[in-house]
Structure 1
């Protein structure tokens, strides 16, 4: 039976690694073949096929519910019901709409919407809304959150921006929404948002700085309701009943064991419902239920049985859960705990168990974090050693009791005030750790090196005395010191990162690296911190010899501060240094400056008669073995005419589209003089500026210029000096990504 469960789990998990889903015909055949194989000894294969078929069918349903391409970017009036917990902050309301209906065109069942300056929106209300709809598309980079996979896992078929709306039917808020509202209103010493995260699993009240501290210290799992919290509450309830029975305080006519098991599970299930029943909560509830059932029957239960049953139960309930990083981290952490406590002779003292758990879990999660492209916390073992008991024993009990007794004057609010103060003390301590040891983003390593590191981590988790166990350390260190991929002399590696409506281009030679523009920042959305800096670290770049900001606009220079704080920058140059903030002192662009790095030549130019920020853009030409790339910032047609009278107006193989392909740039004269073989466009999907303009695109096509668009192809990698085609990250097939993005 265990073999069958493993095979079923393997089939369900296979979905995560499929480049494309099987055709509809195969999806119909797979279950039939599996049922035919069940009576024979090939039942593991049958279970595998059943798991794979169910996962693929479920994923196909989610893909079929995505917004149709003709509706992408269009505004439609639709009706629907608000679900979940709407988030309202700084004039922006974010919420999910379910059961959407429109008069024209089929609308996905679930939408994620944003309403700038909108009125308060409450769960359960029905609205009629004018929404500009967008297909669920995200940025595709080396090191970035996979927004498309997350949306699919949430079964969100479209996103959108609300332009207008009318409330059709008001209703009383859901009980979870009412509890959150009360929690956010109490005096919790500035940590009401953290208490809402602990009690309800709603992290919207945590600031961006809070999330950074939690990520740097590896304690994110403590501030969202995890399996540890569920198990702890169940254990406390069981121990309470058992203790009362032991001292004769439990009613004799009620058998204590069934009541202890029943109340423990009811507590776990109730907390899970309060938390919204996410993947870690489902896993914990299933495992708690199995342990209690076996305890009720006085049977010994091996640890791997509930683990496998919980794994299969979660995936059967929602096969798309495997697209979420939290799923892998949650089950991996439990598997590591089972491994390190199982099959050992003798026992550890409590303090040995507690300290060893922390660093062994950190070792066990390293290969998974690396595979998922997530940061690795260097202070995680120490932070969790202190934070886990602090949250579990000091913060969580008064937080839950305070929520339970909110209706009692002073009692509930007093408990929440105490919990908030204790939580604030913890955050202050974690902030000190995060400042000393920020999270580490490991450089990309080949599959063979990752496999050796994963094997090394497994060896280190085995009991002492196992042969070859000491070899785990050098094998694991291969992840820290991977083999370097040295660039040939005279060639340059160029990355146009996918930063939406902005620009960030990395140029790296054998021994040097420079960044042309730093990505956009609008409000609290900083693509320099979210995309550019993690991508640089993923590429193994420890310092920048030059950061060149073409001009001061936020879509080009907005991310510069985050990059300067995250990496040493030897030199900062800008075409418009006066327009930059005071904390970004930059040298002016020196038109005519030239230099060489490792056989690659760089040249700068700026229009001396520029009248505005776009015209001031500092233009850079990069030449490697005769192959040229021209980075133009946001120059317009007037600046382009001035450029034609400079040494840079020569045949150019790669042209970065001026001003994202706007109508006021990419003049016929420029294209005729440069005769580019290909153009690189950096812009946001469905941007409000209409970039690139259809006339400009047609101009490129008439010239025979190949078009590479970040909105359609994600981040692009070009090896300048090889005259080869660029590599598109969106071309790395994933079944949830459409390729090509546009027809």
Structure 2
């Protein structure tokens, strides 16, 4: 039976790596094959195909529920009910709608919308909204968060921005939102949002600084992933009833063991519902239930069997859970503890049981964090050594008890005040630690080296006395210091990042790195910090030789501050230094400045008569082994005419479309002189400016230029000097991604 359950898990997990979903015919064939195999007792293959079939069917339902392409970009009046917990931000509110309907069109079951400057929205309300609808999409880079996968895993079929709306009915059955409002209204010494995260699993009120501290110290799971708290609460209830029965305080006519197991599981489910019943909570509730069943029936299930059943239970309920990083981290952490504790011949002391799991989890999760592309906290073992018992034994009991007693005057508020103070003290200590040991973002590791490091981590986690266990350490370290293949001499690696309606390109020679533009920033939404800086770190860039900001517009230079804070920069050059932060120490762009890096030549140009920001863009021409690249910023037609009389106005292989393909740029004379073979367009999908303009695209196509559009194809990697075709992020086939146009 265990073999069959393992095969079922493999089938359910296989969905994560499918480049495309099988057709209906193939699904029917697999189901027929399952029925044919069962009589012959070939359970592993039958269960594998059964799991794969169910996962594919469920995923196809989610894909079919996406917004139809014909409605993409349209503004429609829709009606829907607010579900979940709306997220209030400094710029507005984000929330999800269910049971949405509009006149004469079929809408997805769930729609995620944002309302800039919108009013307060509560869960359970019904609204009539004017929404500009969009198909699920997101920025797509070689190293970064996959928004499309996350939206599909949440079964969100469309996103949108609200233009106007009216509330039709008040909130109904919005008890979680009511609890949140009560928590946010009490005095918790400034940590009201933290208590809401602990009690309800709602981290929307935490500040960016809070998230940075939690990430740097590896304690995010304490505030959002409530799995361990589910087990702790169930254990407290069980221990309480067992203690009452032991000292004769439990009614003798009620068998204490069934009551202890039943009430413990009821507490776990109740807290799970309060926390939103996400994947970690589902896993914890299933495992708690299995442990309690074993205790009630006095049957030993082992340690791996409950974990395997929990894994299958979560994936059967939601096969798309495997698309979320939290799923892998949650089950991997439990598996590490099972491996660490299950193989020991004797019990650990209290000190060992407290200190060792944190180090073992850090080792076991290292390959998982590495393959998921997540930052790795070097201080996590030390931080969790204090934070785990402090949250579990002090903050959370006070927070849950205070929440339950809020109807009683002063008692609930007092307990929450104490919980907030305890949480604030913890955050102060974590902030001090994070300031001294920030999270480490490792460079990308080739698959082969990662597999070796994974084997090394498993070997290190084996019990003492296992032969050759010490060899696991060098295998594990191979992922920390992997051999790297440098850029060839005389060539240049160019990566145009997908930063939406903005621009940022990374240019790397063998020993030097230049960043052309830093991505956009709007309010607290800084793509320099979210996309550009992590991409540099994933490429193994430890310092920038130059950051060249074409001009000071926010869509090109907005992320410069975050990048300067995150990585050393030897020199900053700007097309208009007066509009850049003084802290950058930017030098003005000098036309005619030339330099050579590792056999690759660079030269700058700027229109001396420019008066506005776009026309003052600093233009960069690069030549590698006879292949040319021209980066133009946002120059307009007048600047293009001035450029045509410069020595740089020669046929080019790669052209960055001026001003994102705006109608005010890419003049006919400019394009005819340059005759670009390929064009890079950096813009946001469905942007309000209409970039790139159809007339501009028609000119490129008339010249026979191949256009690479970040909104359609994601990030683009070019090996300048190799005369090779580029690599686009969307060419990496995944079943949830739309195919290339």
TM-based fold match above 0.5: yes
Q: Greater shift after overlay, 576-585 or 231-240?
A: 576-585
2: distance between equivalents of 1:467 and 1:610?
72
2: distance between equivalents of 1:483 and 1:370?
16
Deviations 1:604-631 (A, max 9, x none): 0011011101111000001001100000
2: distance between equivalents of 1:354 and 1:140?
41
2: distance between equivalents of 1:44 and 1:195?
45
Q: 1:658 aligns to what?
A: 658
1: distance between equivalents of 2:430 and 2:171?
41
Report the alpha carbon displacement of residue 226 of structure 1 after superposing the two structures with TM: 1.8
Q: 1:382 aligns to what?
A: 382
- Give the alignment's Cα RMSD to 1 decimal: 0.9
Q: 1:305 aligns to what?
A: 305
1: distance between equivalents of 2:176 and 2:376?
33
Task: Note if 1:142 corresponds to 2:142.
Answer: yes
2: distance between equivalents of 1:640 and 1:116?
37
Alignment of 1:490-501 (within 5 A): 490-501=490-501
Q: 1:527 aligns to what?
A: 527
Q: Is the 8 A contact 1:5 1:309 kept in 2?
A: yes
Q: What is the SS of the residue equivalent to 1:655?
A: strand
Deviations 1:261-314 (A, max 9, x none): 011001101000101100000000011111111111122221111111110000
Q: What is the SS of the residue equivalent to 1:111?
A: strand
Q: 1:581 aligns to what?
A: 581
Report the alpha carbon displacement of residue 89 of structure 1 after superposing the two structures with TM: 2.5
Task: Note if 1:337 corresponds to 2:341.
Answer: no
Deviations 1:216-259 (A, max 9, x none): 11101000142110000000000000001101111111111011
Q: Is the 8 A contact 2:18 2:735 kept in 1?
A: yes
2: distance between equivalents of 1:225 and 1:269?
15
2: distance between equivalents of 1:121 and 1:149?
27
Q: How many residues align?
A: 741
Q: 1:71 aligns to what?
A: 71
Report the alpha carbon displacement of residue 467 of structure 1 after superposing the two structures with TM: 1.1
Q: 1:44 aligns to what?
A: 44
Q: 2:351 aligns to what?
A: 351
Report the alpha carbon displacement of residue 343 of structure 1 after superposing the two structures with TM: 2.3
2: distance between equivalents of 1:642 and 1:412?
72
Q: Is the 8 A contact 1:337 1:357 kept in 2?
A: yes
Q: Is the 8 A contact 1:190 1:420 kept in 2?
A: yes
1: distance between equivalents of 2:41 and 2:104?
53
Q: 1:127 aligns to what?
A: 127
2: distance between equivalents of 1:45 and 1:557?
55
Q: What is the SS of the residue equivalent to 1:39?
A: helix
Q: What is the SS of the residue equivalent to 1:283?
A: helix
Q: 1:254 aligns to what?
A: 254
Alignment of 1:243-322 (within 5 A): 243-322=243-322
Alignment of 1:583-602 (within 5 A): 583-602=583-602
Q: 1:714 aligns to what?
A: 714
* Structure 1 residue ranges without an equivalent (≥5): none
2: distance between equivalents of 1:39 and 1:277?
38
Q: TM-score, normalised by structure 2?
A: 0.99
Q: Is the 8 A contact 1:575 1:616 kept in 2?
A: yes
Q: 2:26 aligns to what?
A: 26
2: distance between equivalents of 1:636 and 1:714?
25
Q: Is the 8 A contact 2:378 2:439 kept in 1?
A: yes
Q: 1:464 aligns to what?
A: 464
1: distance between equivalents of 2:32 and 2:214?
47
Q: What is the SS of the residue equivalent to 2:407?
A: coil
Report the alpha carbon displacement of residue 171 of structure 1 after superposing the two structures with TM: 3.1
Deviations 1:387-441 (A, max 9, x none): 1011111111110011001111111111111111111111111111111111111
1: distance between equivalents of 2:120 and 2:487?
55
* Structure 2 residue ranges without an equivalent (≥5): none
1: distance between equivalents of 2:18 and 2:196?
37
1: distance between equivalents of 2:146 and 2:104?
31
Q: 2:723 aligns to what?
A: 723
Alignment of 1:421-500 (within 5 A): 421-500=421-500
Q: Is the 8 A contact 2:362 2:381 kept in 1?
A: yes
2: distance between equivalents of 1:30 and 1:117?
51
Q: What is the SS of the residue equivalent to 2:241?
A: helix
Report the alpha carbon displacement of residue 102 of structure 1 after superposing the two structures with TM: 1.3
Report the alpha carbon displacement of residue 173 of structure 1 after superposing the two structures with TM: 5.4
1: distance between equivalents of 2:584 and 2:443?
28
Deviations 1:655-710 (A, max 9, x none): 00000000000000110110100100000111111110111011100111110001
Q: 1:154 aligns to what?
A: 154
The alpha-carbon distance between structure 1 residues 386 and 464, as it changes in their structure 2 partners (threshold 3 A), is same
Task: Note if 1:628 corresponds to 2:628.
Answer: yes
1: distance between equivalents of 2:715 and 2:387?
38
Q: 1:609 aligns to what?
A: 609
Q: What is the SS of the residue equivalent to 1:300?
A: coil
Report the alpha carbon displacement of residue 117 of structure 1 after superposing the two structures with TM: 1.6
Q: 1:164 aligns to what?
A: 164
1: distance between equivalents of 2:306 and 2:212?
34
Task: Note if 1:235 corresponds to 2:235.
Answer: yes
Q: Is the 8 A contact 1:12 1:55 kept in 2?
A: yes
Q: 2:188 aligns to what?
A: 188
2: distance between equivalents of 1:399 and 1:602?
60
Q: What is the SS of the residue equivalent to 2:583?
A: coil
1: distance between equivalents of 2:225 and 2:366?
22
2: distance between equivalents of 1:303 and 1:275?
26
Q: Is the 8 A contact 1:225 1:275 kept in 2?
A: no
Deviations 1:517-553 (A, max 9, x none): 0011101111010000001010011010000000001
2: distance between equivalents of 1:76 and 1:374?
38
Give structure 1 regions of 4+ aligned residues with deviation exceeding 6 angstroms: none
Q: What is the SS of the residue equivalent to 1:204?
A: coil
Q: TM-score, normalised by structure 1?
A: 0.99
2: distance between equivalents of 1:604 and 1:655?
15
